[in-house]
Amino acid sequence: MVVLGIDWPTVLGDGSEMQKIILALATLVSFAVAAFADDLSVEVTNKTSESIKAIAAVPRAGGAPIALSDAEIASGATSELSFEAPASTCVFTVSSTLTSGKVITLPDVFLCHTPKLVIQ
């Protein structure tokens, strides 16, 4: 049977060709989904005199804030934070909210290659 100029019995054969096509499409879709986000991590050291109650990062190109941590980081403590960022996004404005409500903002932080971040 020829539909849309394609001889389907020849294309489908015993099904093995169709299985190859489906496998190839599934592989492409998995790569496309993975391209939408990057997993990043940064070690944060709190050198302020009070605890950090939240840390968020906003991509420099714009977009919604990404919560890096809602867990408190005590004064003098270090914490490893992992988060998911939009694909190929590396430069962020990082804001740390202290227990007093004071916000410390660090503009233009390159988180893709910044393994350590000090809040002071």
The verdict on 28 and 59 lying in the same domain is: no
Same domain (yes/no): 25, 47: no
Residues 101 and 114 reside in one and the same domain = yes
Number of structural domains in the chain: 2
In this predicted model, what pLDDT tens digit does every residue of 83-98 receive, in sequence order? 988 888 899 999 999 9
CATH of the domain at 79: 2.60.40.2890
73 & 101 share domain: yes
* 77 plus 58 within the same structural domain: yes
Residues 65 and 97 in one domain: yes
Residues 34-56: what's their mean pLDDT?
A: 88
For residue 62, what are the CA distances in angstroms to 17, 19, 34, 47, 54? 44, 42, 21, 28, 20
Mean pLDDT (the chain, rounded): 82
If asked whether residues 62 and 109 sit together in one domain, one would say yes
Same-domain pairing of 28 and 58: no
Claim to verify: residue 20 and residue 72 sit in the same structural domain? no
Range of the domain at 15: 2-34
Span 89-116, average pLDDT:
94
Q: What is the pTM of this model?
A: 0.67
For the stretch 10-37, pLDDT in tens is 665 665 666 566 555 555 555 544 456 7
Q: Which residues contact 9 (CB under 8 A, 6 or more apart)?
A: 1
DSSP annotation of 73 reads: B
